[in-house]
Chain A
Amino acid sequence: MTTATLSQPLSYSDRLERLKQTKLRQTRQKRDRNGYMDRDDHGTAPLPDGFSWSPIANHSNGSFYRSKGWAANFKSLMEVHPVYVDANDALAGRWMVYLSSYRRCGWFPDADFSHLKPEQELYGILSGIGAQQHFGPDYRIGLALGWGGLLAKVRRCHQDHGLDKSEFYEAEQDVIVGVQDWIRRTVAAINEAESVETDPTLKANLHEMAAVNEWLVDGPPRTLREACQWLAWYCMVSRIYNGDGAGGQLDELLRPYYERDIAAGRIDDEEAIFTLACLLLNDPHYHQIGGPGADGRDMTSLISFLIVEAGRRLGIPCNLTIRVHDGLDPDLFNLGVRTLLEDKKGWPRFSGEKGLTEGFMRNGYSEALARERIAVGCHWMAIPGREYTVNDCVKINAAKVFEVAFKEMMRESETVVPSVSRLWSLFAEHLRRAVLCTAKGLDFHLAHQKDNAPELLINLLCDGPIERGLDASAGGVDMYNLCVDGSALATVADSFAALEQRIERERKLSWAEVARHLSEDYRGEGGERVRLMLRSGERYGQGTSLGDDCAIRISELFTGLIRANLTPEGRLMIPGWFSWSSTIPMGRVVGATPNGRHAGAPISHGANPDPGFRKDAAPTAMAHAIAAIQPGYGNTAPMQLELDPGLARDRGAVDALGCLIKTHFDEGGTLINVNILDADQLRAAHKDPDAFPDLVVRVTGFTAYFASLSPEFRQLVVDRLIEA
């Protein structure tokens, strides 16, 4: 409720400012209530006090499974999920709870994978078993049909299939009915708010908001505002259902509505920007803008610019990606680079057409299809609605694999003389086993995921699941290209390089010495000196160094192992290098490593060299190194770049950063995340986060309020930036 007594009518920027302040307040509230979170903000609003809901169990373990269990619980939750109306907002609704978080037990206990667990643990594998979402819906399907149209489609397909798929179809119907119920209740709340609103601008806004939503209960969107509201509803309910945060090609999705509204004189650009800002505020989904359409022509249009402008006016965490290709509108590219430098909020991100498209085509797909494979998540590439990928859920901790190999070599050292080449072959063998174990895990996941946690929301916006009556995880879509990422590239490359340099080339250390210092975590006598010696060698990222060679070899080995093997059931895996924000937990399980890293310390970040890799921290050196280790099959090995704001003040900065981005992509790079942060400000914010409530940092694929991150994670961001 807003009681504005201003004489001037409220402007869009007044309203946006109020929305931003509300958002900051809610972020603080959430942190105070729920603690820190090392992940996306997701746009949730805090739950009202006293909210309670209990899930309905359909398994003896007290949890719920299968389509029936998920649908019943989702529908029941939607019946009580609070409604949210802010008179300043163009869009109604905020989401507040994850249905998944109400599950007592995770994985479906009737499907047992204990046979895989020993190796998963041994090699630090994040198996992806039970991973939900992490592929992309095709929003065009939903925008064309609306909730009513989707419901009719489900019913029609149900009829076509007769009774044998009833559980699936009934579940899909329940899900839609649950969503419609929530929208209806929201409309009632909007009407109520309108009746007591005194500010004429806001009253009119609420009036229109009610009409928009009343229509959207059934109908497909007709205007830009309706389209944004529809997207917001879908994003919210899909988040509630299982956390799905995948975006789409936002400019192309909204362009027809925008152009129609403008042509009909219904809106002007200011209103369009405001509506778009409200959509971005609703949830920082991973949308792409610009880039080539299936025919290769650039998709940039006026609304691409308005989307960037909307994000800039908001100034909150945002995850837009600009796809860079030769035909990209230079003005959009330029605007993106300027936004990064001037706003310093860690967005937009840039993805590289050449590496991604050529890479994906190596899997045997057409160029047109490869172009449709867009950035829809933190490092994910997926063809919306047609490809199941489990992006970012499956990781092999190469540092753990290295540790296993190193220990084995030292155990056998009585009989076999240790050497880098012996270590290498052991590493290769263990990595092979890790890949195989991962592949088996993926088959297992796909065999049982529909029983564990079906994709009832994303199914609706896919080509196939509803038509076939099959979950997207179980044959509903056409393509299964499973993402398998390696982690700890720099940790392992620098370890190999340090051993080769200090033991074999310079003969400054012996294998036994190194093994002893590792087992003592460099804390025994002389340990610190040895640690520093190992750390100061030829590291990955320096350029033409031993570490660079090792990183390339490791990436080639990893890529080769993944490409040489389909999963046992014949599915394709696509390699990448990415650790997301898991560098801390993945490091915790690995002892000291020969790159001078202490036991339990975080592993290296994604495909990046470790901080301090070069004295001048030259971004060109980093870009070159990361381009050289790209697996090259259409998934990403992102470059995370930390830049000093001194650069932003520089006259040539836009050109230089633009050149850096384009050249990295020319050389085969796939995705670039940039942070521009003042080291002093960051240190101050680390000490007193509340003094900098709106400081936004790009953690990895996602941006977040710095104050919301855990102290441990903040430290990592600080180290990364300051050493860079």
Chain B
Amino acid sequence: MNNKVGTITEIQRFCLHDGPGIRTTVFLKGCNMRCVWCHNPETLRPTFDILVQPTKCIRCGACVEECTHGARKIDEHTGDIAYRTDYCVSCGACAESCYSSAIVRVGRNLSVSEVLLEVAEDRAYYDRSGGGVTISGGEPTCQLEFTVALLRACRGHGLHAALETNLYAPWDRVEIALREADLVMFDIKLMSQVRHREATGVSNTRILHNATRLSQLGTPLIVRTPVVPGYNDTPLEIGKIARYISRFPSLLYYELLPFHPLGTSKYESLGMPYLMGGVHEPSPDSMRALADSAREAGIAVKIAGLIDGQVQASGDDNDNGNAFAAPFLLGQT
């Protein structure tokens, strides 16, 4: 089982935003939705991506020699490296020989054991902080067998394993992964079916259906909404989502993630168009107002990245699911 291989975009250690405590997040490659605001366009395609940053090129010519598909040529006039994307099969051979990071291959194939070896490095930090491993994406359920195997392996080694998913898959398929996770984090981006399709390319019917079924499993849940100006940044929309999820008994809290403008460079280096130019980050005040409207549904709400964006649970002021109330820390934080 543990030699099952997955395609990984990145393994990132010391993550503080992907669940409780200090975590290592394993970003799997490939996604079945296409949100216009996507922050991680390099995780979208299931295959390797070739990222180019021509300003880093030292014109060594190695990539031209490596490419057997004729996709790289030296421009006779400028000496620059010309890149024919239409010839490129994303094999990554050029990136292997490019040490200046002018060409970078995004994506590695790693076995469960290899991933486990790396994530286990921070075990002591997870233990002390109540953290663990988060499997994210892309969309991890696009590599379902690998995801399930990795979740099992982590838990088998005593590591808290969280799954971050968009829930866009048939229930029968994803249920097995959801059952293997210690914690599930998923997004509800919009309640309107039509607008959801406009913004993400798919309808939300299946997501909402899966969310309801998931809530019956009893697995601790964190629901998140990326707050994107022009799409869902109204108290009305956020209030609707909050009311919807307020029925989930195992909901730990609802988290609002403010949209961050990316700039075009990341998309450019992948040769993709960026559609969010000119859209700004929502202000802390507007985020607070949205959080307040969500709280009216009687649930705990957090705003990511805001120091005063704590959970304010209705009823008691227990630390709802912020499992990172480490025992060694007393006093005010």
Q: A residues within 8 Å of B by Cβ?
A: 330-331, 333-335, 338, 526, 528-529, 532-533, 535-536, 543-544, 614-616, 618-621, 624, 647, 649-656, 658-660, 662-663, 666-667
Known contacts A334-B333, A529-B99, A620-B22, A655 near B324 by CB under 8 Å = yes
Tell me whether A655 and B330 are in contact (CB under 8 A): no
Question: Could you tell me the distance in whole angstroms from the C-beta of A274 to the nearest C-beta in chain B?
Answer: 24
Question: Could you tell me the distance in whole angstroms from the C-beta of B49 to the nearest C-beta in chain A?
Answer: 15
**In the complex, what distance in Å separates the CA atom of A619 from the CA atom of B12?**
11
Q: With a CB–CB cut-off of 8 A, which chain A residues contact B100?
A: 528-529, 532
Known contacts A660-B22, A663-B125, A655 near B333 by CB under 8 Å = yes
**In the complex, what distance in Å separates the CA atom of A552 from the CA atom of B78?**
47
Q: Which of B13, B324, B328 contacts A620 (CB 8 A)?
A: B13
Main secondary structure of the interface of A (DSSP, over half): helix
Tell me whether A529 and B16 are in contact (CB under 8 A): no
Tell me whether A532 and B330 are in contact (CB under 8 A): no
Interface size class of chain B, counting residues whose CB lies under 8 Å from the partner chain: 35 or more
Q: Which of B14, B121, B325, B333 has the most CB of A within 10 A?
A: B14
**In the complex, what distance in Å separates the CA atom of A419 from the CA atom of B325?**
52
Tell me whether B117 and A544 are in contact (CB under 8 A): yes
The 5 closest A-B pairs by CB, nearest first: A618-B13, A532-B99, A659-B129, A529-B60, A618-B14
Question: Could you tell me the distance in whole angstroms from the C-beta of A482 to the nearest C-beta in chain B?
Answer: 33
Q: Is B192 an interface residue (CB 8 A)?
A: no
**In the complex, what distance in Å separates the CA atom of A648 from the CA atom of B124?**
22
Known contacts A650-B305, A667-B124, A658 near B99 by CB under 8 Å = no
Q: Is B282 an interface residue (CB 8 A)?
A: no
Question: Could you tell me the distance in whole angstroms from the C-beta of A611 to the nearest C-beta in chain B?
Answer: 15
**Chain A residue with Cβ nearest B330:** A330
Q: With a CB–CB cut-off of 8 A, which chain B residues contact A529?
A: 58, 60, 62, 99-100
Which residues from 279 to 333 on chain B have a C-beta closer than 8 Å to any C-beta of chain A?
302, 305-307, 309-310, 324-326, 328-331, 333
Tell me whether B121 and A666 are in contact (CB under 8 A): no
Q: Is B122 an interface residue (CB 8 A)?
A: yes
Question: Could you tell me the distance in whole angstroms from the C-beta of B82 to the nearest C-beta in chain A?
Answer: 19
Known contacts A334-B333, A532-B99, A651 near B129 by CB under 8 Å = no
**In the complex, what distance in Å separates the CA atom of A514 from the CA atom of B68?**
28
Tell me whether A543 and B121 are in contact (CB under 8 A): yes
Q: With a CB–CB cut-off of 8 A, which chain A residues contact B101?
A: 536
Main secondary structure of the interface of B (DSSP, over half): loop
Q: With a CB–CB cut-off of 8 A, which chain A residues contact B333?
A: 334, 338, 654-655
Q: Which of A533, A616, A620 has the most CB of B within 10 A?
A: A620
Q: Which of B10, B62, B122, B329 contacts A655 (CB 8 A)?
A: B329
**In the complex, what distance in Å separates the CA atom of A335 from the CA atom of B122?**
25
Tell me whether B124 and A618 are in contact (CB under 8 A): no
Q: Is B268 an interface residue (CB 8 A)?
A: no
Question: Could you tell me the distance in whole angstroms from the C-beta of B95 to the nearest C-beta in chain A?
Answer: 11
Q: Which of B60, B118, B125, B129 has the most CB of A within 10 A?
A: B125
Q: Is B128 an interface residue (CB 8 A)?
A: yes
**Chain A residue with Cβ nearest B25:** A616
Q: With a CB–CB cut-off of 8 A, which chain A residues contact B310?
A: 651
Q: Which of B13, B309, B326 contacts A659 (CB 8 A)?
A: B326
**In the complex, what distance in Å separates the CA atom of A615 from the CA atom of B302?**
29
**In the complex, what distance in Å separates the CA atom of A185 from the CA atom of B117?**
68
Question: Could you tell me the distance in whole angstroms from the C-beta of B154 to the nearest C-beta in chain A?
Answer: 17
**Chain A residue with Cβ nearest B304:** A651
Q: With a CB–CB cut-off of 8 A, which chain B residues contact A334?
A: 329-331, 333
**In the complex, what distance in Å separates the CA atom of A536 from the CA atom of B99?**
7
Tell me whether A616 and B13 are in contact (CB under 8 A): yes
Q: Which of B14, B21, B58 contacts A619 (CB 8 A)?
A: B14
Question: Could you tell me the distance in whole angstroms from the C-beta of A596 to the nearest C-beta in chain B?
Answer: 9
Q: Which of A330, A532, A655 contacts B129 (CB 8 A)?
A: A655
Q: Which of A619, A621, A654 contacts B329 (CB 8 A)?
A: A654
**In the complex, what distance in Å separates the CA atom of A246 from the CA atom of B101?**
46
Known contacts A330-B330, A667-B124, A526 near B305 by CB under 8 Å = no
**Chain B residue with Cβ nearest A623:** B125
Q: With a CB–CB cut-off of 8 A, which chain A residues contact B330?
A: 330-331, 334
Tell me whether A666 and B124 are in contact (CB under 8 A): yes
Question: Could you tell me the distance in whole angstroms from the C-beta of B307 to the nearest C-beta in chain A?
Answer: 6
Q: With a CB–CB cut-off of 8 A, which chain B residues contact A654?
A: 329, 333
Q: With a CB–CB cut-off of 8 A, which chain B residues contact A660?
A: 14, 22, 125
Q: Which of B58, B129, B306, B309 contacts A656 (CB 8 A)?
A: B129
**In the complex, what distance in Å separates the CA atom of A636 from the CA atom of B118?**
27
